[in-house]
Structure 1
Amino acid sequence: MNEPLTEKKQIMDELIQAYDQNLNSQILNIASIYIILSISWTLVFRWFHIPFSRADLGILLLIFLVLSLVFLIFRFAHTSTKVNTHIVLQSVVFVIISLYFGSGYSEAWSYFLLVPIVTSLYGKRFLSIFYSTIGLLSMIFVRIGFPDNAAHITDAIDISNRILLYIIVATFSYLVLSKLNMLYDKQVNTVVESMETTLEQVVQSFIVAMEAKDLYTFGHSERVSQYAVALAKQLPEYQHKQKLSHLRLSGLLHDIGKINMPESILTKPTALTSEEYEVIKTHTSLGGQMVEKVDGLQGLKNGVLYHHERWDGKGYPTGSVKKDIPLEARILAVADSFDAMTTTRAYRSGIDLEEAFKRIYDGLGSQFDPNLKEAIEAAESEFIKIYFESHDPLEEFEKLTDFL
């Protein structure tokens, strides 16, 4: 399975893509408007024999044709935003080179200064350096290959000054946009942190409502999430803080479907009948449906829905086998079982830690993912620490009342 993007990267990617799409359209629109105006006033000046334009109408029409073609590509080709950005920037270079020859402006070389300014608007180092370099080389090439007309003599000092000015404009354009991007990044961080805080509050509210229905599961979700994180830290797939946070929330909500279970079953002081067990088994599907409908919690569905699946395919609700079960759910299966075995219920006492670990290891390859063996061994000490820190009835009650 592909590693999910972090919340920040996902938000940034969406915002950047929208920004680039909008910028591509704006650059094309502005260039088109300028060319249409240039063509219009050139035609008017020629029609009335007014000597206010030396523009080459043929070149202006060629530019208009190329821009029209680009618009058609955007309209019908459905190319990616990244490809569109390169098409736009290549079009910008083409338009500026064409204007150098076709505008009739004695200082037409200054059009090349637009290249670093326009490319810097995208705020991407590669684009800025790559197309600014192309713009600089193009400016040098057209000067050397096609000298200015005799009415305006350009010497080596003029050329070197033009290059220096170009580099200065390119550098400052990029630096300004880099600073703006830093501010933008800080704003995204603020949004992400606000979202995480809100999700945490939503999750804690669910936990309070769920655990209030079952006196014997005070702290269960919190312990499962801690065991799951301790185990996941030993895996290469969970070395990113965001993934651990995601797993923690899944652990907190893994039994959320029990909120719809009858209290007579949840709090039953004796073992469940087969019919009652079938009712309890529906909590995974109900929980999956619940988180799927809450904005921001959809990504937790795998852990909530599949944490009772077994490696051998004898679990529920889908009977998935081996690596068809999401890794998140395989981790939660171990954490949930460990806490269930070590927690005392009305109809049975919790077993000691040594026996709990033995049953976990015995279940590898049947109930649990055998690939997690080394990670479980590495996390044993952390499991023991979590157990002794959390199995204090008074502390668990105080923790619950803190949520209220």
Structure 2
Amino acid sequence: MAELEKKLYDEYFHEHRSKVTTYLFWINAIFLLLSCTWNYVFFVFDLKFSRANLSALLVCLGLLLLLSLVNKYVKLPSKVNQFLMLAYCAGVLIVLYFESGYSESWSFFLLLPLLTGIYGERKILFYYSFFGLVILSYLSIKEPKSQYTPDSIDISNRILVYIILASLSFLVLRTLHHIYRKQVTFVIQSMETTIQDVVNTFIVAVEAKDLYTFGHSERVSKYAVALAKHLPEYRKEDLQKLRLSGLLHDIGKINIPEAVLGKTGKLTDEEYEVIKTHPVVGARMVERIERLQDLKAGVLYHHERWDGKGYPTKRKGVDIPLDARILAIADAFDAMTTDRSYRHGLSLDEAFQRLEDGKGSQFDPHLIEVLQNVKFEFEQMYKQLNDQIKEFETLTDLL
């Protein structure tokens, strides 16, 4: 789930970055068009209302149009467009400083941290704010651009105002991140609720076809997670994926006739071949739902054997995904310890012994060794999960 959160967060900022770049383009375009028009009118009518350099403004406008043409015919990444736009903005501020003719033209540089802060990226804000501070300090000392020469107090006040605005930009950035985090959290929670509802619907649809296996999916899921918790490879999000894989590992049985699923006698070869189709059918079902695609490996390979004699692909050893190897043990344990239409369930000791007997042939030998440390948990879970009243309550909740 952490990977999903990061993915959504990155998508939000990719979209936000592109939008801000577009907004800055139009802000620059409108500002320069108005400035050029304004100063052209003053020039034509010889009005002394501006000291700005019209030629410099036209050059800036031309460069902006060039950037627009480049972006139209060359699809650049959003980060590259962001860099070009901010570099352009910094260049325009420098041009305005030298060509505006205003004694307070140093204040243009106060815009730089505000513009970069809108992007909501810490590194960008820091780099460009620092760059702007260096340029402002240098120009204030070497190129004062004023009717008077600023003293040390004026320069320190300029730097102080700049730092204050940069700090305010950082607050804008933090607020933006906070809003996006809330959006991402809301989306993930909504997705989790929706996916759980879909999973619950699938479980009811499958297990309603065979009363003998009611609760099987939930038990397999819990056994699998209990075993995986003792493996260092599993993080919280991995356990969540395994939990859902356990719940849906038999979803493909929805395609199998009830007469075959509930048959009390031995299955014919043809019927067994029908049963063997359920991992493939289940895998096809989950891969059609975007948020369930990661579960495909567990659903498809949970009937593979360590020695390569399983189905449907006859994978062997570590070529079988770890989720599927864990589910194979959990699935076998639950199948052995519960009543089926064709036999009564085995005792826990007998079930553990059969798992031990299958070590290195049917089951991953390392996982069988780890199982020795999980036996007590399995026994406690068996007592809790094989309660018919609780099973009925679970069914009621799912419905």
- How does the TM-score come out when normalised to structure 1? 0.89
Tell me if 1:154 matches 2:154: no
Question: 1:41-120 to 2 correspondence within 5 Å?
Answer: 41-120=38-117
Aligned-pair CA distance for 1:171: 0.8
CA spacing shift, 1:156–1:293, aligned 2, 3 Å: same
Task: Give 2:349's match in structure 1, choosing from 322, 346, 354.
Answer: 354
Paired amino acid for 1:339: D
Residue 174 of structure 1 corresponds to 170
Distance 1:215 1:117, change over 3 A: same
Superposed CA offset, 1:191-214 (max 9, x none): 322221222122112211211110
> 2:392, 2:366 → 1: CA distance?
36
Give deviations 1:251-283, integer Å, cap 9, x for gaps: 111111111210000100122222111111111
- Aligned position for 1:398: 393
Q: Tell me if the contact between 2:98 and 2:145 (Cα under 8 Å) persists in the aligned partners.
A: no
1:163 aligns with 2:192: no
Distance 1:340-1:161 versus aligned 2 partners, 3 A rule? same
Please list, as runs of the form range in 1=range in 2, the aligned pairs for 1:138-217 lying within 5 A after superposition: 138-149=135-146, 151-217=147-213
**Corresponding letter in the other structure for 2:98:** F
CA contact (8 A) 2:218 2:246 kept: yes
> Which residue identity lines up with residue 35 of structure 1 in the other structure?
L
Q: In structure 2, do the counterparts of structure 1 residues 28 and 328 end up closer, same or farther at CA, with 3 Å as the change threshold?
A: farther
- What per-residue deviation string (whole Å, max 9, x for no partner) do you get for residues 207-256 of structure 1? 1121111011011000111011112222333222x332222112111111
Contact 1:232 1:375 in 2 (8 A): no
Matched, 1:381 2:373: no
Q: In the TM superposition, what whole-angstrom CA distance separates every residue of 1:329-382 from its partner, at most 9, and x where no partner exists?
A: 232222212222222212223333334334434444443344535543443332
CA offsets per residue over residues 75-107 of structure 1, 9 Å max, x none?
Answer: 344333333333332232222222211233322
User: How do 1:253-272 residues align onto structure 2 when only pairs under 5 Å count?
Assistant: 253-272=248-267
CA distance in 1, matches of 2:211, 2:45: 93
Deviation per CA, 1:300-348: give whole Å up to 9, x if none. Answer: 2232222223344433333344444333223222221222222221222
CA distance in 2, matches of 1:239, 1:71: 46
Question: What is the TM-score with the length of structure 2 in the denominator?
Answer: 0.90
Structure 1 position 125 matched with structure 2 position 106:
no
Aligned-partner Cα distance in 2 for 1:360–1:311: 12
Q: Which moved more, 1:103-112 or 1:258-267?
A: 103-112
Structure 2 CA distance for aligned equivalents of residues 325 and 91 of structure 1? 54
Q: Deviations over 1:126-176 (max 9, x none)?
A: 222222111111111222232224x24322211111111111111122113
Compared CA separation, residues 75 and 336, structure 1 to 2 (3 A): farther
Q: What is the distance in 1 between the residues matched to 2:317 and 2:279?
A: 18
SS of equivalent residue, structure 2 residue 313:
coil
Q: 1:222 aligns with which of 218, 223, 230?
A: 218
Distance change >3 Å, CA 80–CA 258, structure 1 → 2 = same
| Structure 2 residue 220 is matched with structure 1 residue 234 | no
Q: Letter of the aligned partner of 1:60 in structure 2?
A: L
Q: Secondary structure at the match of 2:259?
A: helix
Task: Please list, as runs of the form range in 1=range in 2, the aligned pairs for 1:262-341 lying within 5 A after superposition.
Answer: 262-294=257-289, 296-341=291-336
Verify the 8 A CA contact 2:221 2:243 in the aligned structure 1. yes
Contact 2:12 2:180 in 1 (8 A): no
Q: For the residues of structure 1 that align with 2:364 and 2:60, how far apart are their CA atoms?
A: 63
State whether residues 113 and 165 of structure 2, in contact with CA within 8 Å, keep that contact through their aligned partners in structure 1.
yes
Q: Distance in 2 between matches of 1:73 and 1:288?
A: 45
Q: Displacement of 1:388 after TM fit?
A: 2.0
> Structure 2 vs 1, CA of residues 311 and 79 (structure 1 numbering), >3 Å: closer, same or farther?
farther
Counterpart residue identity of residue 5, structure 2: K
CA contact (8 A) 2:9 2:180 kept: no
Contact conserved, 1:224 with 1:251, CA < 8 A, in 2?
Answer: yes
* Residues 1:27 and 2:18 aligned together: no
SS in 2 for 1:296: helix
**Secondary structure, counterpart of 1:196 in structure 2:** helix
Distance in 2 of aligned mates of 1:50 and 1:23 = 36
Q: Distance in 2 between matches of 1:189 and 1:304?
A: 28
Q: Distance in 2 between matches of 1:74 and 1:15?
A: 21
1:44 and 1:365 map into 2 onto residues whose CA distance is 89
1:365/1:114 CA distance change after superposition, 3 Å: farther
- Does structure 2 conserve the Cα–Cα contact (< 8 Å) formed by 1:207 and 1:256? yes
5+ residue gaps, structure 1: none
AA in 1 matched with 2:19: N
1:16 and 2:3 are equivalent in the alignment: no
CA distance change for structure 1 residues 238 and 163 in 2, over 3 Å: closer, same or farther? Answer: same
The share of aligned pairs that are identical, in percent, is: 53
Q: How many residues align?
A: 399
Q: 1:309 to 1:23 in 2, by over 3 A?
A: farther
- For 1:373 and 1:359, the matched residues in 2 are separated by 11
**Structure 2: 5+ residue stretches without partners:** none
User: For 1:328 and 1:294, how far apart are their aligned partners in 2?
Assistant: 19
